[in-house]
Amino acid sequence: MTTLPDSSAPIRVRIAPSPTGDPHVGTAYIGLLNFIYAKQRGGKFVLRIEDTDRTRFVSSSEQMIFDALRWCGLQWDEGPDVGGPYGPYRQSERTDIYREHVAMLLASGHAYRSFETTEELDEMRKSQLAAKLPPRYNGAHRELTSAQIAAFETEGRPAVVRLKVPVDGETVFRDELRGDVTFSHNNVDDQVLLKSDGFPTYHLANVVDDHLMRITDVIRAEEWISSTPKHVLLYKAFGWDVPRFWHMPLLRNLDKSKISKRKNPVSLVYYRDSGYLPQALINFLGLMGGGMAQPTEQEIVSHGLNVKQGDVFSLADMQAKFDFKRISLGGPVFDLTKLKWLNGEYLRALSGDGFFDALRSTLFSDDYLRRIAPLVQTRINTLAEFGDMTDFFFKDDVVPAVEVFLPKKHMVEETVAFAAEQLTLLEATNFTVEELEAALKQLGVAKDWTVKDNFMLLRAIVTGKTASPPLLESLIVFGKARTLDRVRRFIDTQKRLAVQKK
RNA sequence: GUCCCCAUCGUUCAAUGGUUAGGACACCGCCCUUUCACGGCGGUAAUACGGGUUCGAAUCCCGUUGGGGACACCA
């Protein structure tokens, strides 16, 4: 059985986002849960940045994560920017620690070095899949002799370090919401712990840090259940206590699959820039998975809301009443419809001044208007035309008519497919004029679309019109998150229409 | 394919062996109203299926089906 942390130990929880792009709504969800858990128990809420994947690293991402979490009201007690007794809180600054711990595992025989190349491993996986076998490391280098190791080394082969999972037996761990979960060891792979670039994988870094940072409760998404036995094995290999695990249900798309940017806006920046109030988002997230009892009319009215019944509560309410043992395990669909209703309720609850301030601090802030103004100054003859020219910046959505978006030389289906290409490209592009222009033009050449048709399509999708302020500059001011959403929605809408026709 | 998790209205949560299976969102109708909203009132709508256990099952057990997740030198 697993050892639970000393019950007298002060509660410490953490979230551990990776700076690989825009802050994710799932991070806010898990962050909220961790935050509530800590606050309810007088514990500490730690923010750790898991930046061990240098190939997916995005330098602007960390600051966006900080901003987004603060916008949500989820302030951490310890973290990279605020410090704390168990730092550093950025994994890239802890590589020595991981190397030391890997050395310990190597010395105790709980890990071994493995010299296969990526290509060899891919090959192995492919043939296993082809043979309808579960893809798993075959353990070829588990018991290399020192002579073999020396041979690989002189060959200059890069090595990884793998966890030596026992061949027999099973690992049982307790999930606080589900009870005991058992994995037979022959279903647990020899996980890579240290990559050939010297950086640890999530599994190693996570376990080492959680222990060193005295984390008592690991509250994370359900997708981690199947790797938890590896983590438990690691704790045991080090001789450490295992924390409590709480695996939270995964947020879902409408089709029940794991929430994804292809099917939902997942960037917190999108919600902020589209005029959602953080209290509405937090309330909505608190609804996902249960945990909160239905508020009474009294409680709702106390928030100034003009409804008698409804799933309305604040962060403070959650701190007071959220019950982790009530959480239901079905994956909740992240349905924007109800979030919009909630947002409306919070908007209506604002005082006149408060509402005005909300407008002035977001969509109609000096900063935003100051960036939009130069885009239209030469294009209008009366100030009122500013509205005609820039309406798309202030709309929730825009639906271009076929006459507007369809280029003469292309068919609808083909155009939608091209828009999908644009979407993929925009996701991967930094929003600067140079990068956008280069990327878009390159795509146009590759797909045999003229620059004019190419840009005009994107213009139609984002602005709903054939005439607009300069496209690229407009996109930059409008923002990546909202731009991606418009393109995605355009594609969805057109696909739906196509299906209806058939 | 293998392993793991899950299963109440379209969606999200209630009902923790005994209720006409409840609320919210959405939808529909009526009222309010110069319009549109807001608000008020009402309505449609669910225990996936099959076996047990029990006086009694949405609730406990088994199976089936369905959904999801994981199976990377990503997290």
Nucleotide nearest to A133 (CA to C1'): B1
Other beta carbons within 10 angstroms of residue A45's beta carbon come to: 22
Lowest mean pLDDT of A45-59, A90-104, A297-311, A454-468, name the range.
A297-311
CB of A266 closer than 8 Å to CB of A480 = no
CA angle A363, A364, A368 (to 5 degrees): 80
Residue A493 CA, nucleotide B38 C1', distance (Å): 29
Pair of tokens at residue A375: 């885009």
- Residues of A classed as catalytic: 261
Whose CA is nearest the C1' atom of nucleotide B13? A290
Comparing A91 with A301, the larger pLDDT belongs to A91
Tell which residue, A280, A282, A313, has the closest CA to residue A298.
A313
Nucleotide nearest to A290 (CA to C1'): B13
d(CA A99, CA A64): 29
Residue nearest to nucleotide B16 (CA to C1'): A326
- Cα(A15)–Cα(A329) distance, rounded to whole angstroms? 20
Q: How many CB atoms lie within 10 A of CB A325?
A: 7
- Pairs from A33-38 (Cβ < 8 Å, separation ≥ 24): A33/A219, A33/A246, A33/A248, A33/A324, A34/A219, A35/A74, A36/A315, A36/A318, A36/A319, A36/A322, A37/A11, A37/A13, A37/A217, A37/A219, A37/A246, A37/A324, A38/A11, A38/A12, A38/A13, A38/A77
CA of A502 to C1' of B66 (A): 27
Q: Which nucleotide is nearest to A332 (CA to C1')?
A: B12
pLDDT at A27 over 90: yes
How far in angstroms lies nucleotide B46's C1' from the CA of residue A245?
32
Q: Which amino acid would we find at residue A462?
A: V
| Bases of chain B within 7 A of a CB of the protein | 1-8, 10-14, 22-26, 38-41, 67-75
Per the DSSP assignment, residues forming a β-bridge with A217 are A244
Asked whether the beta carbons of A46 and A78 are under 8 A apart, the reply is yes
Q: Cα A339 vs. chain centroid, distance in angstroms?
A: 19
At A485, phi and psi to the nearest 5?
-65, -40
> Closest nucleotide to A195's CA, by C1' atom?
B73
Distance CA A348, CA A113 (A): 61
- How far apart are alpha carbons A24 and A251 in whole angstroms? 11
State residue A5's pLDDT score: 55
The closest nt to A251, taking CA to C1', is B68
Q: A256 CA to B50 C1', in Å?
A: 26
Give the distance, in angstroms, between residue A382 CA and nucleotide B12 C1': 48
Averaged confidence pLDDT in chain A: 93
**Residue A6: band (very low, low, confident or very high) from pLDDT cuts 50, 70, 90:** low
For residue A110, the 8-state DSSP code is S
Cβ neighbourhood burial of A36 (10 Å; 0-12, 13-18, 19+):
buried
Taking the CA of residue A173 and the C1' sugar atom of nucleotide B8, their distance in angstroms comes to: 29
Selection from A334, A352, A394, A333 nearest residue A369 by Cα: A394
Question: Nearest 5°: CA angle at A205, between A122 and A195?
Answer: 30
CB A201 within 8 A of CB A191: yes
Place A18 in a pLDDT band, splitting at 50, 70 and 90.
Answer: very high
Annotate A74-111 with b (16+ C-beta within 10 A) or e (fewer).
Answer: bebbbbbeeebebbebbbbebeebbeebbeebbeeebb
Give the type of residue at A391: D
Q: Which residue is nearest to nucleotide B2 (CA to C1')?
A: A134
CB A17 within 8 A of CB A49: yes
- Give residue A1's pLDDT band: very low, low, confident or very high (50, 70, 90): very low
| ipTM score over 0.90, yes or no | yes
Mean pLDDT for the stretch of residues A300-317: 87
pLDDT, average across residues A389-418: 95
In the structure, what pLDDT confidence band is assigned to residue A2 with cuts at 50, 70 and 90? very low
